[in-house]
Amino acid sequence: MSPDKNLNEPKKLDTSSIKTTTLLSFLMYAMILVAFLWVLTSFFLDTYYQKMRTQEVIRTADAVEAQYLKGSTGFDKYVVETAEINGIYIQIKNFEETLEYNGSGISPEKAGFADDITRIDSRLAASDTDSVAETRHTGSSDSEARLVYASRIGSGHDTASLYIISPLYPDQITIRIVKNMLGYITFILLSIACFLAYALSRRITSPIENLTRSATELSQGNYNVRFDGAAFTETKELARALNKASYEMERTDFYQREILANVSHDLKTPLTMIRSYAEKIIDISGDNPEKRNADLQIIISETERLNRLVTDMLSVSNLQSNNVEMHREVFDLAEAAEDVYESFMVLGSSQGYEVHFHPCKPAYVMGDRSRIMQVMTNFVSNAVKYSGDNKFIDIKLVKSNKKVTFHCIDHGVGIPSDEQSHVWDKYYRTSANHERDIEGTGLGLAISKSILNLHSAKYGVKSEEGKGSDFWFEMDTVRKPSPKNKNGKDKADEQIQSDTEK
Ligand code: ADP
């Protein structure tokens, strides 16, 4: 199924989408909150109310006592107001009089407040404390309970008793108000949850949807598409990674096309030559042995070129799939490099190249000597090919700290910095190289890279366009091998041969 088909499908409710999940989570959270509030109100409102009311009565009693003891003139007014505000019945009894203030809205006679006071009075008389309180249930339910409180005020002749009776249940209006409020709170909470869920999910999903749209465009080959991660750090990072991936894809696509063009060109040129010279032999030079032989020689050399290309292709593919036999041994890299140098000395005399060798002390390394020589030969033959008019080439060995580094330095065309990492890729040939039409397969460095990787060697190139290049690799040095045994075989060699990798 194509990605656009998915995007264009009619939208069903997708329970695993961020939008639905956020909406459901918020709604669930709000509903749990509301349910909790309703349970609290329904089951604990009475108990909570009673507790609060009792504390309130005790506080009021303390305040009334303090006012009474002060003997202020406004005492009566204060107690009337206190009884009214708190909806309670207050009685103060001293040697001279009994004062009653009823703000409870209940008739003391009908409710039997006198009995309550007699009972609590006898409890206060029997108690060591200055105040007592009890809850009286006058009916079958909690809603008919009331708190009866008594305390002694003052001492000696001025002693008085304070009684407070307070209903311990919220009145119906209060209950209705609370329930009404809860209804509103429920509605507000659910609305806020829906709004927040919608806003949040839109904020989160809109950058993701943008990224998906851009990714779809990219999958259709539009490399100019930009990924925008909006305000979130995570989506911004994703967008940055996708922008990088898109850039790399564009580059890879470009290089693949380049490579294909190069390979086709390299295969086509010798084939065209072979065909042309074969036709020439048939039409023109067939009867002239001298000319025919010259033409046949060209056909042979073009066939050899084709053969080299195909051999290199096979070689790189075998090396990259690790399908090669390595003959590891301990050998002196300095000596091997000198052998390579000597094989290029001929060029010096014949074609005017100046190849300089800067050896180091013997540097023993473990590896396949002939393959490492193949790498060095490739570096030097490239230096020869790409050295341009400046025909100075330096082969240098540097030994330090259990490492030995081989450098092949030329002062030729150099490699543009953005192409340097690609020269190690299969079939890659730099743009400048193509313009000059220098013969090559674009496989030499890919083969070298595979060989060096098999030796776990470091390698690289330092190059500046127009100034030259320094191709190098570095290997670990090992101890000098022990002298040969009586069969003329190196002991270390024997050991190494048995370890030879397939
Ligand atoms: P080729 O057969 O084309 O030389 P290589 O794999 O050996 O293939 O090299 C790949 C490309 O790297 C070359 O085509 C060339 O463009 C570039 N290159 C390699 N060595 C040098 C060098 N010493 N100077 C400049 N360019 C080089």
Q: Please, what sign has the CA dihedral across residues 430, 432, 433, 435?
A: positive
Position 83 scores a pLDDT of 92
- Give the model's pLDDT for residue 62: 92
Rounded distance from Cα 246 to ligand 1 centre (Å): 27
Which is the closest atom of ligand 1 to the Cα of 430?
Answer: 16
Report d(CA 308, CA 378) in Å as an integer: 14
Please give the average per-residue pLDDT across 164-191, as a whole number.
85
What is the residue with the minimal CA distance to atom 12 of ligand 1?
423
Is residue 411 a contact partner of residue 384, using CB atoms and an 8 Å limit?
no
Q: What is the number of the ligand 1 atom nearest to the C-alpha of 471? A: 23
Q: Is the Cβ atom of 440 under 6 angstroms away from ligand 1?
A: yes
**Residue 414: partners with Cβ closer than 8 Å, 6 or more residues away:** 463, 464, 465, 466, 467, 468, 469
In the reported structure, the alpha carbon of residue 462 is separated from the centroid of ligand 1 by a whole-number distance in angstroms of 13
Task: Kindly indicate the confidence band of residue 197, based on its pLDDT and cuts at 50, 70 and 90.
Answer: confident
Q: Which residues of 224-244 are buried (b: 16+ CB within 10 A; e: fewer)?
A: ebebebeeeeebeebbeebbe
Residue to substitute in 319, 423, 426, 447 for testing ligand 1 pocket (most ligand atoms within 8 angstroms of CB): 423
The confidence score (pLDDT) of residue 1 equals 41
Alpha-carbon distances, residue 427 vs 336, 437, 439 (angstroms): 27, 14, 12
Q: Is the CB of 413 under 6 A from ligand 1?
A: yes
Measured in Å, residue 476 CA sits from the centre of ligand 1 at 26
| Ranges 40-49, 90-99, 104-113: which has the least confidence | 40-49
pLDDT in tens, 154-171: 877 678 999 999 988 776
* Mutational test site, ligand 1, from 429, 465, 467, max ligand atoms within 8 Å of CB: 429
Contact between residue 374 and residue 448 where contact means Cβ atoms under 8 Å apart: yes
Sheet harboring 468-476: ordered strands across?
354-358, 392-400, 403-410, 468-476, 458-464
Residue 112, sorted as left (phi over 0), alpha (psi -120 to 50) or beta, turns out to be: left
Q: Is the CB of 429 under 6 A from ligand 1?
A: yes
Q: How confident is the model at residue 193 (pLDDT cuts 50, 70, 90)?
A: confident
Contact yes or no for 31/190 (Cβ under 8 A): yes
Q: Which two tokens stand for residue 490?
A: 């190196």
pTM to 2 decimals? 0.50
Would the CB of 445 count as within 6 Å of ligand 1?
yes
Ligand 1 atom 8, closest CA: 442
Q: Which protein residue's CA is at the shortest distance from atom 21 of ligand 1?
A: 382
pLDDT (0 to 100) of residue 287: 83
pLDDT at 176: 84
For residue 216, what pLDDT band results from cuts at 50, 70 and 90?
very high
Cα(105)–Cα(348) distance, rounded to whole angstroms? Answer: 125
Q: Is 383's C-beta closer than 6 angstroms to any atom of ligand 1?
A: yes
Ligand 1 contact via 433 beta carbon (within 6 Å):
yes
Q: Is 443 in the pocket of ligand 1 (CB under 6 A)?
A: yes
Mean pLDDT of the chain: 84
Return the ligand 1 atom nearest residue 429 CA.
Answer: 14
DSSP structure class, residue 480: P
| Residue nearest atom 23 of ligand 1, based on CA coordinates | 383
